[in-house]
A and B are shown apart, each in its own frame.
Chain A
């Protein structure tokens, strides 16, 4: 330690060098001690199991990448992967637009109304994912609220089958993730100073130009965080696609469950998990690159 050089006590009343050193060490490592339990938990309960899971996928029979080759050789599994990406991208894109517009309105509302709107946005989060997905079963079912309404007003003569389609999964997931997006973006939009918006309009920028050239670029960090949250959330979702997509709209989460719990193909399930981890990490990294390009302030 460089700091352990003994120092002369300047006056007898001052703390002795030994004591100073101890205080210094305590301060220096206090941060680590505080973060210790959480770090340990992440290591033992997350990193080790994930590493162990991925380790099992590098098979010994038929070459080290055999499970991955098997995965990508199966047209069905490729289709599932593609569908999952499609659903997650669609969910993310729709949540971005809906969430951003809503967050903009919320952030511009006066104090009391704003709290009320935020509570309204967060309210669905107080119930479980299964409950919220189930609600869509009731809305979208053959005898559901929406079909009854459409038949009732004479817009359609036969009930539509809306459940177990890609659309139904996307709608439910957007509903699931929009509150997250709104919360993230309200914080970011509120942090854009009024001065900057006023400066823009004093320089002749129309409200639309101010939105496009000032507010949107400054909201990019929030949009990225929101997009990452929604993408990873919907890419790894299980309950919602299971309830609203069923067997017909199988995604990576439901496929993995099926491999593990129905077929007892643990290596196959682990392979799916590993592919999901790789894709999620890649998307997170790619998105932060995009963020840096669009807004040099973002890190």
Chain B
């Protein structure tokens, strides 16, 4: 039976170094949650703590109404898929998949039947008698997946399962993982450093940095409404422009950037806007204009790159280095003077760092 996972106030140390600080996370029944972040952010540590390979300094881990915190790994009943597959090299594919059932005392005949059925589901029934050494990377990961699924764990965890596969296979496999996870309705924790991978298959994503969760939300919210500068940069808001509120009229705030560009922002849309804040936009959210009458942050354009749908400019401005996308119909040369105007629809209002 699948279960909800609740992690509360988890703190962990490697020796004297604190690697995880007061981390709380809850994963609903049947939900797939990704832990996303650069290496060293604590995502793998979190997974290893939940799996029982590490002991937390403090905090608790619960699966359904079972307290896992001090339980040894082999009693936790968690299906794990490893980055390096971690198949048993001396056992056939079938015996690899049947390994967990064997530990649960399932009779050999039944074990074989269930392992075969699971191999059928991942499309590897014809390779049942092979040794792992004779499989390709994608096949190995399917076996690893089958091995974790066949024990019908209440929780399934993935540790960068696709990092060792080539790009095309990665996309196919992640769809397959998501389909199997959906079909079984298994609560899942998925660790990855690949944003596209995390966003594409997760119900919710926890973006981590330095042992903390920076934001835990649906991919859509993370992508459009990052809660802080770290997450904004992480999801591709290239421009973080410091602004000051200079006038307030009801719900509308007039804000000014360095260089004098003014724009009106609605508090109905952005929530309460402080006197001093950061406006975050992607390159698409900065309009490029060469008309001297237009308002905007004055900037000198630098390197131009071709993106296919637009030209992208590196620009020097009073508000710092900015990146803006200009139209294909009017390419501008390096050195040109332009005005860069944030498009409110594509902006986020953040607290200053």
> A-side interface residues toward B, CB under 8 Å?
193, 195-196, 198-207, 209-210, 213-214, 217-218, 295-297
Contacts and interface: CB of A to CB of B under 8 A. Distances in A.
A202 B90 contact: no
B126 interface: no
Contacts of A201: 52, 72-74
A179 B191 CA distance: 43
Contacts of B74: 201-207, 210
B334 interface: no
A202 B88 contact: no
A8 to B, nearest CB: 37
Given A199-B88, A202-B52, 20 more contacts: A193-B84, A193-B86, A196-B86, A198-B51, A198-B86, A201-B74, A202-B74, A202-B78, A203-B100, A203-B151, A204-B75, A204-B103, A204-B151, A205-B103, A206-B103, A207-B74, A210-B74, A213-B102, A296-B90, A297-B133
B104 interface: yes
Nearest to A217: B90
B99 A195 contact: no
Contact of A199 (B75, B77, B80, B133): B80
A195 B75 CA distance: 17
B259 interface: no
B277 interface: no
A230 to B, nearest CB: 23
B50 to A, nearest CB: 11
A203 B84 CA distance: 16
Contacts of A209: 103
B23 interface: no
A214 B96 CA distance: 11
Contacts of B339: none
Contact of B90 (A193, A204, A210, A218): A218
Contact of A204 (B51, B84, B104): B104
A208 B84 CA distance: 24
Interface in B76-103: 76-80, 82, 84, 86-90, 99-100, 102-103
A296 B73 CA distance: 28
Nearest to B76: A202
Contacts of A199: 80, 82, 86-88, 147
Nearest to B133: A297
Contact of B53 (A198, A214, A297): A198
B197 to A, nearest CB: 20
Q: State which size class the interface on B falls in.
A: 20 to 34
B310 interface: no
Contacts of A206: 74, 103
B133 A200 contact: no
Contacts of B79: 202
A209 B101 CA distance: 13
Nearest to B157: A202
B131 interface: yes
A206 B51 CA distance: 14
B131 A202 contact: no
A204 B152 CA distance: 12
Interface in B135-172: 147-148, 151
Contacts of A198: 51, 53, 73, 80, 82, 86
Interface string B121-135: 000000000010100
A205 B131 contact: no
A213 B100 CA distance: 12
Contacts of B131: 296-297
Interface string B39-81: 0000000000001110000000000000000001111111110
Interface in B308-322: none
A204 B100 contact: yes
Contacts of A202: 51-52, 73-74, 76, 78-80, 148
A201 B52 CA distance: 9
8 contacts: A199-B86, A203-B147, A204-B75, A206-B74, A210-B74, A295-B90, A296-B131, A297-B89
Contacts of A196: 86-89
A214 B88 contact: yes
A71 B133 CA distance: 49
Contacts of B90: 217-218, 295-297
B45 to A, nearest CB: 14
B151 A218 contact: no
Nearest to B74: A201
B99 A205 contact: yes
B100 A218 contact: no
Contacts of B76: 202
Closest 7 CB pairs of A and B: A203-B100, A195-B86, A204-B103, A199-B86, A202-B80, A201-B74, A201-B73
